[in-house]
Amino acid sequence: MKTINDGDDVLLHLDQKRTYLVRVEVDKQFHTHKGFVELGDLIGKPYGSPLLSSLGVKFHALQPLIRDRIVKTDRRTQVLYPKDIGYLLLQLNIGTGCRVVEAGTGSGALTCALANAVKPDGKVYSYEINPDFQRVAARNIERARLMDYVELKEGDVTEVIDETDVDAVVLDMATPWLVVPRAHLALKGSGVLATFSPTIEQVMKTVSAIREHPFVDLETIELILRRITVARNRTRPQTLMIGHSGYITTARKVLEKESS
């Protein structure tokens, strides 16, 4: 059974809305409005263990999942939700050993999800033009211990993508349509391109650009996630919901003529 070590992250769980991603260290205290907890006490305990605060309130020390890291990531650049990332991973067929190009890195939320899926043999080549975002992303990826599977690149993918024969290219940036020609070059035959865009104008331009290159299986979708309250005589979809995050467009590269 895996136990918590000094230096490990845990997700400290108080209730559905109050969770904290913290690093466990000897003699380190974490203060909350429900009292402080001694994080060092968790060392050697299994994940899922309870932990009482100084005020006697019970927390649980969960193992941080990729989706926790997505949600906890610095949101300045972040519009992708777990629903979108789960769909992207499946559409892009990301699995162990895959080589993936991503742009932009943003806060690294999608990068972490990709890296976790390609490890231990694959690699995520993640491009970002904004060095501030790159710094934030590097910290998030390192914290998730996924940097071995990521190569952070400062560059403009509308001008150059260094990699070739990659399994997938995923674009979460303002002008994905400008990258389509280079994405096509970078992809292997049958490789998948995916873009995520909040506005329909972005989608229109991206789809037009994709149609000018040899791609098949082009489709655009959006995913709507509805949370349901389930409780005796109160079961119903929740009143407030996120109505829209973005559209996901995917296509697969084909080869135009038979190779010799």
Give the footprint of a copy of itself on residues 15-54 (CB under 8 A).
15-16, 19, 45-51
Considering only the stretches 26-34, 135-143, 154-162, 185-193, report the one whose residues sit in contact with a copy of itself under the rule CB under 8 A.
185-193
CB of 131 to a copy of itself, least distance (A): 26
Residues 187-216 that bind a copy of itself (CB under 8 A): 188-192, 198-204, 207, 216
Number of residues engaging a copy of itself in binding (CB under 8 A): 90
**Closest residue by Cα to residue 183 from 209, 154, 217, 149:** 209
Backbone angles phi, psi at 137, to 5 degrees: -65, -45
Considering only the stretches 20-28, 103-111, 152-160, 251-259, report the one whose residues sit in contact with a copy of itself under the rule CB under 8 A.
251-259
Query: Is the CB of 18 or the CB of 135 nearer to a copy of itself?
Result: 18
Q: Would you count residue 149 as binding a copy of itself (CB under 8 A)?
A: no
Q: Would you count residue 56 as binding a copy of itself (CB under 8 A)?
A: no
d(CA 201, CA 24): 46
CB of 69 to a copy of itself, least distance (A): 10
Residues 57-96 that bind a copy of itself (CB under 8 A): 60-63, 65-67, 82-83, 85-91, 93, 95-96
CA angle 213, 197, 239 (to 5 degrees): 145
d(CA 88, CA 129): 22
Query: Is the CB of 97 or the CB of 154 nearer to a copy of itself?
Result: 97
Query: Is the CB of 58 or the CB of 135 nearer to a copy of itself?
Result: 58
Query: Is the CB of 110 or the CB of 179 nearer to a copy of itself?
Result: 110
Tokens of 88: 């992207």
Q: 24, 109, 117, 166: which one contacts a copy of itself (CB under 8 A)?
A: 117
Tokens of 147: 């940097």
Tokens of 91: 């559409």
Reduce the DSSP state of residue 52 to 3 states and report it. strand
d(CA 250, CA 42): 44
d(CA 180, CA 157): 10
Reduce the DSSP state of residue 34 to 3 states and report it. coil
